[in-house]
Chains A and B, each alone.
Chain A
Amino acid sequence: MSSDVIAIQTVEAAGRPWVETLHEWVTTVDHKRLGILYILYALYFLVIGGMEAIIMRIQLMRPHNDFVSPQVFNRMFTMHGTTMIFFVAMPVLFGFANYLVPLMIGARDMAFPRLNAFSFWLNFFGGHLLYFSFLGGNGLYGAGTAPDVGWWAYAPLASRAFSPGHSSDYWTIALLVSGFGSIGTAINIIATIISMRCPGMKLSRMPLFAWLNLVMSGMVLLAITPLSAAQIMLLVDRYLGGHFFDTQAGGSATLWMHFFWIFGHPEVYVLIIPCFAFASEIIPVFSRKPIFGYPVMVGATVCIAFVSMSVWAHHMFTIGMNSYANSFFTITTMAVGVPTGIKIFNWLGTMWGGKIQFKTSMLFCIGFLFQFLVAGLTGIMLASSPFDWQLSGSYFVVAHFHYVIVGGILFALFGAFYYWYPKITGRMLNESLGKLHFWLFVIGFHLTFDLMHIPGLLGMPRRIYTYEPGRGWDTLNFLVTIGAFVQGIAILVFVANLVISYFKGDKAGNDPWDAWTLEWSVSSPPPVYNFASIPAVASRRPLWDLKHPEDPDSHYE
């Protein structure tokens, strides 16, 4: 392949002024550069959001602690939740989709490169607008006024009367702006996958990564927009004196909850489906087997997307819906478990009888499988409305959704980092540091989030800034905090690995994992134009066909 790389950029990288390089990155419309920008930007917010989590954990380490004030604690959990969902998880997943989808479907760029850049910068400025609230939330004279209404900003807490100043406005507008960015990116991913596939790349031959990102983008169009609409309503209430969520004028606080969760629950699937996509690419390669049950995987994903649109009110069992609504949302929520279970069995089926290579990337994917299953099981518990009445708003719920987001999403994401880092930078990530990262993170994760279920069952409510001693929560909370620190150290190892390997890592070559999808056919990092000549494919594993001309997949599909 290297012979195919046309030497267009002969400008030597060393001698150029940094302003020029910066200008190039800021004005870029290249999907690979934008993908990298998304990922770096998300990592930066991951560190910030992680520090907020650590601050909360120090505060809760022992009873009657006064590390931060109650007001600061409120700001910390609001900012932690908002940051991690909107400015870490979404951008990093969009970053991978941006980088990989065109390469995997044999295209030279996304369908709308400039829209792509526009979406990124919307998201970027949205994130910074949110954090500017630390300076400007009460006007410039009041310091430390970040939003403190929780990441779901329930009405009427977010109304003018209870949230004076501008802190909630920063929250609203930041989410509105970044939401428009997300919609733009979703439109772009769909148009790219529908209209830019290389010859022969039928929908039935597309890598699962592209398929799952297509489904995810469709969900973004349906899930982010209700949030945008609700944010507009909240702005109308706060600035134009509207009464959407003003109960004193006949408005309804429940309506906000519905609108928020119509967004909020599908959002979980928007985040997890790209992680399914990572697992569906990584597990087959390190099991040396094609994915088990490709059509069923696609079908199950589409099924999850549909069903997950009708489960939102399981976040609202405690508001007192009638028994029909409770039953409906209990049943639909449990039903989501079926296609999800199908996927887990398919990944197991892929590994079954395979020649498994336990690279760091694969370790993270195996961790993902196990932990996501456990997270799903506590999800089934909470789906049962009587059980939820007991535990809603407790640390059990916090433990459950962190099991999904950290144990599921973040683990799969780390797997993706170890798997595609060589393609993006041209260098391998260090395996020993990687294994250290993995084991530290597994230990820290389980210490924190396994134990966190128990104070929840013992009645510890979420969002409290401190608690009385002698309720049986003390030791557990202390251990949970220790676990958080172990995870923090693991993240530092990871970041160190990213930096060290960038300069000192082994050269990766085009195809370090002996993989089968098109991105591995080009050099690492890929040239600006991706493919010197647009490839044509005849099966789901074009590189397998190429490496094994005597026994190509196309004979069997």
Chain B
Amino acid sequence: MSTIATPLAETPVAWKLPYRGKVGMACLIFAESAIFTIFVVAYLFYVGKSFLGPTPRDVLETHIFYTICLLSSSLTIHFAAKFLERGRRGPFLLLWLLTITLGALFLYGTGQEWHRLIYDHGLTMSTNLFGTTYYSLVGLHAFHVTAGLIMLSIVLLFGLARRVGPEQSARVGVLSLYWHFVDAVWVVVFTVVYVLGH
């Protein structure tokens, strides 16, 4: 059996496999979920175990407005992607910009809250266990929002330069998948930090 030919190509069968970008992003989301799970477990494990104040009950305030901002940005990015698929550039860019604005507003909200906690209540990462777990969990999420915003802005720049069209909609879909994930994680973080851990 020294020489053999290439396997003969048969009559082409209907052969369609999932888009690799979607699969890759799904895997990334799977992996990221595991990371967040570990941080959430640590947060819940340490709730109420700090020796010193301030405690969540003393200092945490629930700002539902910024949460609404972030969650509604999932809707705007969904429709933006739909418009891009249909080749309607104007509404796509508008909704995309709106998504970025909503995400940035959310980040601003987080910044506001951190500023208040640090300067008004003296809560930092090294103050107590609550500070350590709170800043790392919320910070990990904020880091993902920031990464998402950078990617969204790059797409916006390309869009303004007329480089994003319907043929890129699959790739834009991958990015919007990531953004949905960031929003979904916030639902979990919000529930854990502001509802259960309060």
A250 touches B20 (CB 8 A): no
CB of B35 within 8 Å of the partner chain:
yes
B46 touches A250 (CB 8 A): yes
Q: A187-B31, A229-B39 are in contact. Are A199 and B23 (CB under 8 A)?
A: no
A199 touches B6 (CB 8 A): no
B6 touches A538 (CB 8 A): no
A226 touches B34 (CB 8 A): yes
Binary contact readout B1-33 vs A (1 if CB under 8 angstroms, 0 otherwise):
111111111101101011110011001101110
B132 touches A4 (CB 8 A): no
B35 touches A244 (CB 8 A): no
With A and B bound together, what is the CA distance between A546 and B7 in angstroms? 6
CB of A51 within 8 Å of the partner chain:
no
Q: Which residues of chain B are near A230, meaning CB under 8 Å?
A: 38
CB of A225 within 8 Å of the partner chain:
yes
How far, in Å, is B92 (CB) from chain A's closest CB? Answer: 26
A514 touches B1 (CB 8 A): yes
Beta-carbon contacts under 8 Å, B28-54 to A: 28, 30-32, 34-35, 37-39, 42, 45-46, 49-51
A2 touches B3 (CB 8 A): yes
CB of A532 within 8 Å of the partner chain:
yes
B29 to A, closest residue via Cβ: A221
Q: A111-B23, A225-B31 are in contact. Are A547 and B4 (CB under 8 A)?
A: yes
Q: A190-B27, A195-B19 are in contact. Are A1 and B13 (CB under 8 A)?
A: no
CB of B125 within 8 Å of the partner chain:
yes
B42 touches A1 (CB 8 A): no
B31 touches A194 (CB 8 A): no
> Dominant SS at the A interface?
helix
A191 touches B136 (CB 8 A): no
A2 to B, closest residue via Cβ: B3
CB of B175 within 8 Å of the partner chain:
no
How far, in Å, is A203 (CB) from chain B's closest CB? Answer: 11
Chain B interface extent, by class: 35 or more
B35 touches A229 (CB 8 A): yes
Binary contact readout A178-196 vs B (1 if CB under 8 angstroms, 0 otherwise):
0000010011101110111
B125 to A, closest residue via Cβ: A240
Q: Which residues of chain B are near A229, meaning CB under 8 Å?
A: 34-35, 38-39
Q: A243-B129, A249-B129, A518-B7 are in contact. Are A233 and B18 (CB under 8 A)?
A: no
A195 touches B126 (CB 8 A): no
Which among A244, A532, A547 is the interface contact of B1 at CB below 8 angstroms? A547
CB of A252 within 8 Å of the partner chain:
yes
Interface residues in chain B, defined as those with a beta carbon under 8 Å from any beta carbon in chain A? 1-10, 12-13, 15, 17-20, 23-24, 27-28, 30-32, 34-35, 37-39, 42, 45-46, 49-51, 125-126, 128-129, 132-133, 136, 140
Interface residues in chain A, defined as those with a beta carbon under 8 Å from any beta carbon in chain B? 1-2, 4, 111-112, 115, 183, 186-188, 190-192, 194-197, 199-200, 217, 221-222, 224-226, 228-230, 232-233, 236-237, 240-244, 249-252, 255, 259, 262, 509-511, 514, 518, 521, 531-538, 542-543, 545-547
